[in-house]
């Protein structure tokens, strides 16, 4: 299994949600799994150049495929700390808004494998996300393209967070209790896999 997150952001932004939240969770996992290892090998990988064409993750996924390396699951930690419980605060590409909640107080799991037991909104993605391009905007999609199981864990970025790619993406806009809950919940799921 590989858990990943980029550490680069968009020029002119602080990048508190995009993506210091993913990096913070990745670092907490490094601390926690070093203290109490998982039952199976675990790689914590930080990719750069996600905002500029998914370059780091694409190279890594291609290298794994070239070396015929197995991968149980890739988890992309993509923006995890913004919550808004206001009705209508959560947007989706058509027609998904007909099926999913309209409050931005959930974590979305978008993946190319079966639903997990984590309390979240699960969006199964067939055909490598080619019919819903918004599901391909993070480091998991090169793994889909290489045939590996992968999920993106996200607060849904620009479909919820009005500070996305703006200078206002600061720590003051985050819900740190929400972020802590996401981190703790993900660790429990990973340890249970």
DSSP lists the bridge partners of residue 44 as 3
From residue 171, how far is each of 15, 45, 161, 168 by CA, in Å?
9, 23, 13, 9
CA dihedral (8, 16, 14, 10) in degrees, to 10, reads 40
Statement: the pTM of the whole predicted model exceeds 0.85: yes
pLDDT digits (tens, 9 = 90+) for 115-172: 544 345 677 777 777 778 888 889 999 999 999 999 999 999 999 999 999 999 999 9
* Rounded mean pLDDT, 172-189: 96
* Rounded mean pLDDT, 25-52: 94
Q: Scanning the structure block, which residue is given the tokens 């995890």?
A: 80
Q: CATH homologous superfamily of domain 2-192?
A: Zn peptidases (3.40.630.10)
User: Can you give the pLDDT at residue 1?
Assistant: 57
User: Can you give the pLDDT at residue 118?
Assistant: 39
Residue 78 has pLDDT above 70, yes or no: yes
């Amino acid at each position: 299994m590989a858990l990943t997150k980029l550490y680069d952001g968009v020029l002119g932004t602080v990048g508190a949600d995009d993506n210091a939240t993913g990096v913070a969770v990745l670092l907490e996992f490094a601390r926690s799994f070093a203290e109490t290892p998982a039952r199976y090998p675990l790689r914590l990988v930080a990719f750069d150049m996600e905002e500029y064409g998914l370059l780091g993750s694409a190279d890594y996924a291609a290298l794994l495929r070239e070396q015929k390396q197995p991968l149980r699951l890739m988890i992309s930690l993509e923006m995890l700390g913004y919550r808004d419980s206001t009705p209508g605060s959560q947007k989706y590409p058509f027609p998904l808004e007909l099926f999913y909640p309209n409050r931005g107080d959930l974590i979305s799991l978008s993946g190319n494998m079966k639903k997990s037991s984590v309390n979240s909104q699960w969006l199964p993605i067939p055909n490598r996300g080619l019919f819903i391009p918004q599901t391909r905007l993070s480091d998991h999609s090169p793994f889909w393209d290489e045939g590996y199981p992968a999920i993106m864990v996200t607060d849904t970025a620009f479909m919820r967070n009005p500070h996305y790619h703006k200078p206002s993406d600061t720590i003051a806009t985050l819900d740190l209790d929400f972020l802590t809950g996401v981190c703790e919940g993900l660790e429990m799921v990973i340890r249970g896999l």
